[in-house]
Amino acid sequence: MYLSRLKIRTDEFPSHKFYPFSLPCIQNTPEVDLDARVVFFVGENGTGKSAVLETLVRRAGLHVWGGQKTHPVHRNPFEARLWEFAEVAWRQYHKYGFFFRAEAFFNFASSVDDLEMDAPGRLRFYGGRSFHQQSHGESFLQFFSSYCFQLAGIYVMDEPEAALSPRSQAKFLRIMAGHDAREDSQFIIATHSPVLLSFPGAKIISFDGGRLEQVAYEDLEHVRFYRQFMADHQAYLEELFEGVEPARPPDMFDPELISLFKMDR
Domain boundaries, the chain: 3-259
Task: Using DSSP, state whether 185 is helix, strand or coil.
Answer: coil
What pLDDT does 178 receive?
87
pLDDT at residue 72 above 70? no
CB 35 within 8 A of CB 1: yes
What pLDDT does 238 receive?
95
- H helix or E strand, kind and range, residue 241: helix 233-241
For residues 84 and 72, what is the distance between their CA atoms, to the nearest angstrom? 22
C-alpha to C-alpha distances, 105 to 20, 167, 237, nearest whole angstrom: 24, 21, 34
CATH class of 3-259: alpha beta
Span 143-165, mean pLDDT? 87
For residues 108 and 127, what is the distance between their CA atoms, to the nearest angstrom? 14
Span 207-224, mean pLDDT? 94
- In terms of average pLDDT, the best of 73-82, 90-99, 190-199, 246-255 is 190-199
CB 168 within 8 A of CB 137: yes
The pLDDT mean for the chain works out to 88
The residue type of 118 is: D
